Amino acid sequence: MSFSRSAGKKIIKLLCLLISVGILWFNGNSFAKAAQEHHLDTGDTSISTTIDPPGTYDDPEELNTLNTLNRVTLQYEGDNGSLNGALRILITLTLIALAPTLIIMMTSFTRIIIVLHFTRAALNTQTAPPNQVLLGLALILTFFIMSPTITKINDTAIKPYEAGEMNTTEFIETAMVPLREFMYPQTQLKDVQLFMQIADLEWDGSLETIPSSVLVPSFMISELRTAFWIGFMIYIPFIIIDMVVASTLMSMGMMMLPPTTISMPFKILLFVLADGWALIIGQVVQTFY
């Protein structure tokens, strides 16, 4: 009985081996026929296994036609030049990345956002209005204030540059003129003198002799000083309300009650009755005119 079982196992193993060999033989013949039909027989060195070879060239003219979509070219002849599409996209993306810094440093954005932040802090409303609203309002007011400057840059620099009437260097110098004319009246003289002394430069008091590397940081310091002064003036009426509420609570013996809890509704009521947002925003915008 044991002999018949062992013989049966051997027969089953032999059948499985024969079936596996048959499958391999069938697949091998099928692959060989397919290779002959499509000329993929790697044993023949005269037939390439690559249907479409990668870009090859015999002379510079053929090389110029390869990978035309992935090339970055720059043509320069005398004072005139041209850039291909890939390089223009790269420069555009770089300018977009630098745009927030330029908006903060060379426009009215800094003063506006600081004043709005002081207003919210004085009201003690924590996150109302939220940061997104303050940033959006500051950007809208910045574009409103800077619209004459932007229009002048577009007329004197961007349009002539697109028409090919000036090169890149002339475009940058011409575009900086309206920005410098905007920053100079908002900059205090002592800030300009400070950076001129640090840079060891002589200044005759005119805008033309101030380098942009001096005018921009001087403008930033002046904007911070002006914004903090406006914020201090905004704080004064709200501090008075806090003092009145705190003294009232102490006289009533309610020393454990936080004064800010009682003063905040009165601050909001005073701010609404005085039309505070229109008053503050209007006065801030008028400081640039």
Identify the pLDDT of residue 249.
Answer: 80
Identify the pLDDT of residue 174.
Answer: 87
Give the rounded percent of residues in the chain with a pLDDT score beyond 90.
17
Compute the distance between CA of residue 181 and CA of residue 160 in angstroms, rounded to an integer. Answer: 20
For residue 227, pLDDT beyond 90: yes
Lowest mean pLDDT across 23-37, 110-124, 128-142, 220-234 = 23-37
Identify the pLDDT of residue 42.
Answer: 47
Q: What are the start-end ranges of the H helices in the chain?
A: 2-37, 60-64, 85-106, 109-123, 131-153, 159-162, 168-186, 189-198, 212-251, 259-273, 276-286
Reported as a pLDDT band with limits 50, 70 and 90, residue 51 is: very low
Lowest mean pLDDT across 51-65, 105-119, 187-201, 229-243 = 51-65
For residue 87, pLDDT beyond 70: no
Identify the pLDDT of residue 141.
Answer: 92
For residue 75, pLDDT beyond 70: no
Reported as a pLDDT band with limits 50, 70 and 90, residue 41 is: very low
pTM of the model: 0.65
Give the rounded percent of residues in the chain with a pLDDT score beyond 70.
70
Q: Which two tokens stand for residue 165?
A: 């009437």
> Over the chain, what is the mean pLDDT?
76
Establish whether the linkage from the previous residue to 129 is cis, with ω within 30° of 0: yes
What contacts 230, CB < 8 A, 6 or more positions away? 111, 115, 118, 283, 284, 287
Lowest mean pLDDT across 36-50, 80-94, 179-193, 250-264 = 36-50
